[in-house]
Amino acid sequence: MAKRRKYGNRRQHAAPSIKLRTGATCMLWGVALLGLACAIAWGYKAEVMQRDAARRAAAMQESAARFQMHGIDVSAHQGKIQWKQVADATLHQRPISFVFIKCSEGATLQDRQYITNLREARKNGLMVGAYHYYKPGRDIDQQARNFIKNSHLQAGDLVPVLDVEEAGRMGRQALANDILRWMKVVGDHYKCVPILYAGHSFRRKYLNDARLKDIPLWKAHYQKDSRVNGRGWTFFQYTERGHVQGIRGYVDLNVFHGSPEDLQSLAIN
């Protein structure tokens, strides 16, 4: 009898252990199924996002193709460029009409590929321009002098560009003051009206000072459902992921709002 009671007690203690193991197994299966469902849902969402991005990019490219004058902008980020190939390249079955090249940044920096890019682009018959990358909080007169000293622009080149993408701790009024000062110093030197480059969202947030409204605009906008249209801009950068023969990797693509004669009118005299 004692042995039977002992055996019986062992069976009674074993039952909860089996239930625990069964519960743990069910929980693991539940977690696994939930993870699988999340993975499927995320994969579907990612696929939808990719299709949507492709649709927007195609719409942007289609709207850009309506314009006659196409060009690119480059810096040291593009590495060594094969300018003969670039000069022979086409965008939307049209030749490349202009190239903007990064010259300088802030008060003291110069783009290490600028001189080479400027020389080779000119040598291959491309209309060139130069831009300065603005750094907030740095002396604006020094920034203007940095560009003037290193840009080496000449008659027939496009007018200078100030690229403003950062506000730092600058207020809107102080930022506008800097822009206007750079435009005056550089414009007086080259006897022209420079161009302001700014992204669509950044411009709406920081550059809504009324004093800036008459400055020719190079607009960058390639997000959401934007289209290249002909309102309120001179140049329009419509993608940062373009491809052009002679350049490895991505390059910015742009259109000009006007004719070849209009583009020539923007040249330095």
Residue 53 has pLDDT above 50, yes or no: no
Tens-digit pLDDT profile for residues 58-105? 556 677 788 999 999 999 999 999 999 999 999 999 999 999 999 999
Q: What are the CA-CA distances from residue 81 to residues 2, 74, 108 (Å)?
A: 93, 9, 24
pTM: 0.80
Q: Hey, how many other C-beta atoms are within 10 angstroms of the C-beta on 220?
A: 26
The contacts of residue 117 (CB under 8 Å, 6+ apart) are 74, 81, 83, 99, 101
Which stretches of 65-139 are DSSP H helices?
Answer: 83-88, 114-123
* Residue boundaries of the structural domains of the chain: 1-64, 68-264
Question: What is the predicted pLDDT for the residue at 163?
Answer: 98
Question: What is the predicted pLDDT for the residue at 27?
Answer: 73
Share of the chain above pLDDT 70, in %: 78
Question: What is the predicted pLDDT for the residue at 6?
Answer: 44
Q: What is the mean pLDDT of residues 218-247?
A: 87
Question: What is the predicted pLDDT for the residue at 127?
Answer: 98
More confident residue, 52 or 95: 95
Which stretches of 97-249 are DSSP H helices?
Answer: 114-123, 140-151, 172-190, 200-206
Residue 11 has pLDDT above 60, yes or no: no
At residue 84's C-alpha, the angle toward residues 79 and 89, to 5°, is 95
The arrangement of secondary structure in 68-264, i.e. its CATH architecture, is Alpha-Beta Barrel (3.20)
More confident residue, 196 or 226: 196
Helix (H) or strand (E) holding 163: strand 161-163
Catalytic residues: 73, 165
- CA neighbor of 250 nearest in space, from 262, 237, 234, 236: 237
